[in-house]
A and B are shown apart, each in its own frame.
Chain A
Amino acid sequence: MNLNFYAIASIYRFEMARMRRTLFQSIATPVISTSLYFIVFGAAIGSRIAEIDGVGYGSFIVPGLIMLMLLTESISNASFGIHMPRFTGTIFEVLSAPISFVEVIAGYVGAAATKSVILGATILMTASLFVDIHIAHPFWMLLFLVLTSVSFSLFGFILGIWADGFEKLQIVPALIITPLAFLGGSFYSISMLPPFWQTVTLFNPVVYLISGFRWSFYDNADVSVALSLSMTCVFLCICLVIIWWIFRTGYKLRT
């Protein structure tokens, strides 16, 4: 298969230009919310919480916080990126272009994931102004960051195609992803829960992301790192298959 690299570059540039137009919003929003989380959880409440697994509470929540932001922002960026052309009708051009789903994903999801990685780095830098951050496994940290950004951008892409209106684009991150992230150990260790809830929690896919990501920082994890990594990859593959199916059947794209 000879890919249309000019098309990938075109879509990617188009999407990044969209982000540049909203640069202030893209950077300011996460910086402000991160700071708020640190003031509320880190300083006010965190000072009354003992260390978790030998890590100060403020530092402990950094990976979970990044994940929380990463998931919601990846989804909303990617879903908006593909939903907008559907809404305005400009999608006709993408559908009539000499490209397959590979170029479409590489362009749209690539751009959304890039934004997410930039976002993750921004939050990390903001957090480092408040607490000490130690990264035990930088390579794995980066790998989890990128894999999560890509996976959830793919998920957002699917959402953007499935959704019939802008409300649905916002409902899914707000009603599904944010609760899963909060309940998935963003702000606490799973081991702090009673045994029954620990088991229930293991059905929450976000647990594996946060656990693996936190391990790359502080070298301790709720579930095994191998399991975290495999679960992330499984999720990524499921999204890829769904998108492949969407383009094969034309679901909601081609009548």
Chain B
Amino acid sequence: MQDSAGTPIIRVEGLGKTYADGFEALKNINLDVYSGEIFALLGPNGAGKTTLINIICGITRPSGGRITVDGRDIIRDFRHTRSMIGLVPQELSTDMFESVWSTVSFSRGLFGRPADPQHIEKILRSLSLWNKKDSKIMTLSGGMKRRVLIAKALAHEPRILFLDEPTAGVDVELRKDMWQIVRDLRESGVTIILTTHYIEEAEMIADRIGVINHGEIIRVQEKHELMQELGRKQLVVHLHAPLARVPDSLESYALELADNGTRLVYTYETRAERTGITALLQQISDAGIRFHDIETSESSLEEIFVGLVKQVVPPASAVARGEVR
């Protein structure tokens, strides 16, 4: 995940943003993103995801703090930092009368790269836009416009790609294509930061996840770590014969009966030192209960997330400092 020196490709330090109307959209954000990873910024609507991305990309002005991209300050060295970044915005903002080909070529030039028709062709083909290359953008469907925006963002061969709510209102096919493209890009060394309020999306694609709510980063962690640390697992024991009630000898495990008494469900914390599984299974046989199968299931990020944002949040500064690295 981290490049050899361990230096982040994006480093956000003490970032704050207060909009002109006095609304504090970001509060002391500290965040590192490492070269080559897929980082998901996960948070409900209005959490500040777009604000954070737009500040890094230079569209919105920070109110305080410092951001470096590739070790360079995004304000002082904006030519260097911005040329490394591609952005697929949340809104479907596209030209209308231009052709797909010309709007994508425009983006490449705008970001300082000489014309390269072969590269543009490659992008358009990978996004299934090739047969639409001469179509006016206004004639395309919403999904196609989203593809055009992705093509524009990739036109200058960025090393960092921001995808702001990439799957909002997107059909299944495009969603599949998009994840394929994201994986291919990561393969070629591109760092990807995406925002989403869909947990499954973060869970499926990301290496690390930052949870953001009310303008504060609550937690930044490896996906698996996050799941493990906060996740609960369930052990389901499939019984031979249904039970009417849980035997008293097993009371301390807080077991539940499911499926008309044919299953015993044990919920445990994966981060606990001892899960008690061995002892439980032993006691189940001792109680004369026969079972023919056992399975475990992890709770999804959804549940983790709901748990997280409900938690009383300690000062963001303290949390972020401890968790950022």
Contact = CB atoms under 8 A, between A and B. Distances in A.
Interface of A: 2, 4, 6-7, 9-11, 13-14, 17-18, 21, 88-90, 92-100, 250, 254-255
Contacts of B114: 6
Interface stretch (B94-102, B196-204, B271-279, B293-301): B94-102
Nearest to A94: B110
Contact of A10 (B19, B89, B91, B109): B109
Contacts of B102: 14, 17
A96 B57 contact: yes
B89 A255 contact: no
Interface string B180-224: 000000000000000000000000000000000000000000000
Contacts of A2: 79
A96 B85 contact: yes
Contacts of A7: 109-112
Main secondary structure, interface of A, reads: helix
Contacts of B110: 6-7, 10-11, 93-94, 97, 99
A243 B62 CA distance: 21
Interface residues of B, number: 36
B93 A90 contact: yes
B59 A90 contact: no
Contact of B82 (A13, A98, A254): A98
B97 A21 contact: yes
Given A98-B83, A254-B60, A255-B61, A18 B97 contact: yes
Contacts of A254: 59-61
Given A6-B113, A96-B59, A255-B20, A88 B94 contact: yes
A94 B89 CA distance: 13
Those 4 A-B pairs whose CB atoms lie nearest each other, nearest first = A89-B93, A10-B109, A98-B82, A98-B83
Contacts of A18: 97
B80 interface: yes
Interface in B86-130: 87, 89, 91, 93-98, 102, 105-114
A170 to B, nearest CB: 20
Interface of B: 19-20, 54, 57-61, 78-83, 85, 87, 89, 91, 93-98, 102, 105-114, 152
B113 A96 contact: no
B79 A4 contact: yes
B109 A95 contact: no
Given A93-B107, A96-B87, A14 B98 contact: yes
Contacts of A21: 97
A10 B61 contact: no
A244 B80 CA distance: 21
A98 B80 contact: yes
Contacts of B79: 2, 4, 98-100
Nearest to A9: B109
A102 to B, nearest CB: 11
Contacts of B59: 92, 95-96, 254
Nearest to A12: B109
B98 A4 contact: no
A255 B113 CA distance: 28
Contact of B95 (A11, A88, A97, A99): A88
Nearest to A250: B61
Nearest to B115: A6
A50 B81 CA distance: 66
Kindly name the residue among B85, B93, B114 whose own CB sees the greatest number of chain A CB atoms within 10 A: B93
A113 to B, nearest CB: 20
A132 to B, nearest CB: 41
B211 to A, nearest CB: 25
Nearest to A2: B79
A254 B59 CA distance: 6
Given A17-B98, A21-B97, A88-B96, A97 B111 contact: yes
B266 to A, nearest CB: 51
